[in-house]
Amino acid sequence: MPDNYEVLRRFRNNIPDLHNGSYRRVWGKAVTKKSMRSAVNAKCQDCMCWQSAEIKQCDIVTCPLWQYRPNQGKDEKAQSEAVVGIARQICVEPATSFAETPSTDVSRTGNVLI
Ligand code: SF4
């Protein structure tokens, strides 16, 4: 099993050295505990294979980082608020009965909620 130094070194070397090293800098700030914002940004960049433009298109609303992902424009604000409203109904307001709580549900992203 590789040691943590080797794991981190290899991961960093696999981050595309684009935009004057900005992807690597953001990831570095995250893993050195300098910035939680950088941690979110780096995770989204990694998730979208270091294609920043793709983050804006992300529709995985079940992801805990979705509301915090970078590159959100004004166009996404209304959608974001709508998702928050739905999430509050589900997460804050208790189900009225156990029978009304779906055991499985396939969201539009294909994730199965249990
Ligand atoms: S918000 Fe989207 S891009 Fe960011 S980590 Fe979650 S699924 Fe990936």
Higher pLDDT among residues 102 and 76, named by residue = 76
Q: Please report, for the chain, the start and end positions of each structural domain, with discontinuous segments joined by +.
A: 4-113
Summarize pLDDT for 81-112 with one digit per residue, the tens. 999 999 999 998 766 655 565 555 545 554 54
Summarize pLDDT for 25-66 with one digit per residue, the tens. 999 999 999 999 999 999 999 999 999 999 999 999 999 999
Distance from Cα 56 to the centre of ligand 1, integer Å: 9
Residue 73: which pLDDT band, with cuts at 50, 70 and 90? confident
Ligand 1 close to Cβ of residue 47 (< 6 A)? yes
For the full predicted model, state whether its pTM sits above 0.85: no
> Considering the chain, what is the average pLDDT of its residues?
87
Q: How far apart are CA 90 and CA 55, in angstroms?
A: 25
Ligand 1 close to Cβ of residue 69 (< 6 A)? yes
* Ligand 1 nearest-atom number relative to CA 58: 2
Q: Is 36 in contact with 65 (CB distance < 8 Å)?
A: no
